[in-house]
Chains A and B, each alone.
Chain A
Amino acid sequence: MSQETLRIQKISGHAGTVPGEDTQREFKVCKLIDTTTCIGCKACEVACMEWNDLPFGETVFGNTYQTMPETRWNYWNLILFNEHEREDGTLMWLMRKNQCMHCAEPGCLAACPADGAIVQYTNGIVDFQQANCIGCGYCITGCPFDIPKMNPKTNRVFKCTLCTDRVSEGLEPACIKSCPTGCLHFGSKDDMLGLAGRRAKQLRDHSNFPNAGVYDPPGVGGTGVIYVLHDATQPELYGGLPKDPHIPWTVKLWKGPLKWLGNVAMVGGLIGLFVHYLRFGPKAHEEEDIHQGGTKS
């Protein structure tokens, strides 16, 4: 929900300027998730539900720790487990806390036709405003991370808010607060990138993870949630984290060139028909009309 202390720099489906654009020099906030020190305890999941007052949903049991297969409209934070067998036969238990990535260039916001249903604050948080949501689900198509989920009863879409309410009051998100291993960090994007880079270097230099690296995909302008991965060359292993996420090109084409082409064609067509009528007027078919010069000119 909208926070008075946060200003808005991007608005979905909005004609005209954006009130908060260029008004503040607030730094971008960022959540850092170090998958190499996550133990999959799910404390962050519980903290998310507690703080956001979300109901507990039914879980599944399939002899794995994945008791919830995917995020839901009322379950925004989920650890994805993967038992990965390495080339040398050893097992790696990969865990990734999955939630909205808070893209700098959000596909959900680009695809959304409803004025003000999705906003991006000047601190980089992407937030859904359910009061303005029309339930079209275009954000689901725009998102390369499969994050927006629809409440089937109300047709409104929900996702992680990065605890906008807490952050706007100077607190860290609830999930960060709950993490017992310290694998979750919160701060400015610059600070988090520095911390993540140092951790990745440590893994490369001292822990035999030559491919360790930071996940901050440039295809969506970088994200407000970044990961340290043991193997940054294979992000897919971590619960299907896309290697090079982009806003789907069809969404870009639809919201960009197609729109302009359509606008020009529609306005041009109207003007063209009007001018045609001024020049040629209506057709004539009654004998006297034709003979009075309907076909001359």
Chain B
Amino acid sequence: MSTSEQIIPHGHVLRYTLKERLTHWAAAVSYIYLLLTGLAFYSPWLFWVAVILGGAPVSRMLHPWAGLIFFGSVWNMYVMWAPQMRHTDIDKQWWKAVRYYSTNQDDKMPPAGRYNAGQKFLFWGFFWNAVALLASGLVLWFPTYIPWNLRVLRYISVLVHPAAALFTIGLFMIHIYMGVFAERGAFGSVIRGDVSLAFAKRYHPGWYKEIVGGASAPRK
């Protein structure tokens, strides 16, 4: 996915490669299906959601498969991004200054790299919860294969699965809020791949320096 294959508008820079964007949307679509069907199983008040999605037995049948797609996507993100998601000293400062971030005073934030500390938290939160959801989900997928003397696995799974899912729902809400509403240009970046230089400079100054200083610096 070299950048040369894609036309980047003037004053913009590529932020997410096609591979990154495809992985993101595989995770997003499968997650939204998992969220809707999962909520239907979670609460009787939302059971109608499963009915709309083709009936609860169908939801029960497809939910685990969607889960495999989701986990595969998250695993691919891990392979692509894990080195970029390491916790740094700047991240420590970022968390200390998080109140400025949440009140839109981004000029008072320490210079984040390609991913800021909040995005790293989102990534690791999703990654570890996806691991927990996969492990508990496999048990819930095949309850009849768990022998009676290992039933404690089922007991743990029925608790871990919704708890981990709720945690991801928290992350998901913040992710949607940031990506769709709070940071203009962020949603476009995961569709077309590019952000404006002003976007890069404002929210990811460390990354901005890297790309502008590098050989592949875009035209000004």
Residues of A within 8 A of B (CB): 13-15, 111, 113-115, 133-138, 140-141, 146, 149-150, 152, 155, 248-251, 253-254, 258-259, 261-263, 265-266, 269-270, 273, 276-277, 280-287, 290, 294-295, 297
- Contact indicator A285/B163 (Cβ below 8 Å): no
Known: A281-B104, A285-B202. Is A115-B57 also a contact (CB below 8 A)?
no
How many residues of chain B get a CB closer than 8 Å to chain A's CBs? 49
Return chain B residues, CB-CB under 8 Å to A133.
Answer: 57
B residues 114-162 with Cβ under 8 Å of A?
A: 140, 143-144, 148, 151, 154-159, 162
Contacts A258-B159, A266-B170 supplied; 15 other A-B pairs, CB < 8 Å: A13-B44, A15-B44, A113-B40, A113-B41, A113-B42, A114-B47, A115-B44, A134-B50, A251-B158, A251-B159, A262-B162, A273-B177, A282-B182, A283-B202, A294-B104
- Contact indicator A285/B45 (Cβ below 8 Å): no
- Contact indicator B143/A254 (Cβ below 8 Å): no
- Contact indicator B47/A283 (Cβ below 8 Å): no
Return chain A residues, CB-CB under 8 Å to B198.
Answer: 285-287
- Contact indicator B104/A280 (Cβ below 8 Å): yes
Say if the beta carbon of B77 comes within 8 Å of chain A.
Answer: no
Known: A137-B143, A266-B169. Is A254-B162 also a contact (CB below 8 A)?
yes
- Contact indicator A283/B184 (Cβ below 8 Å): yes
Return chain B residues, CB-CB under 8 Å to A111.
Answer: 158
Task: Return B158 CB to nearest CB of chain A, in Å.
Answer: 5
Question: A124 to B104, alpha carbons, bound, how many Å?
Answer: 60
Main SS of chain B's interface residues? helix
Residues of B within 8 A of A (CB): 40-45, 47, 50, 56-57, 59-61, 102-107, 140, 143-144, 148, 151, 154-159, 162-163, 166, 169-170, 173-174, 177, 181-185, 196, 198-199, 201-203
Interface centre among A13, A133, A285, A286 (most CB of B within 10 A): A285
Known: A286-B196, A295-B107. Is A146-B148 also a contact (CB below 8 A)?
yes
- B155 is contacted by which of A150, A248, A259, A294 (Cβ under 8 Å)? A248
Question: A13 to B154, alpha carbons, bound, how many Å?
Answer: 19
- A282 is contacted by which of B40, B61, B155, B181 (Cβ under 8 Å)? B181
Known: A136-B41, A262-B42, A277-B177. Is A285-B155 also a contact (CB below 8 A)?
no
- Contact indicator A134/B174 (Cβ below 8 Å): no
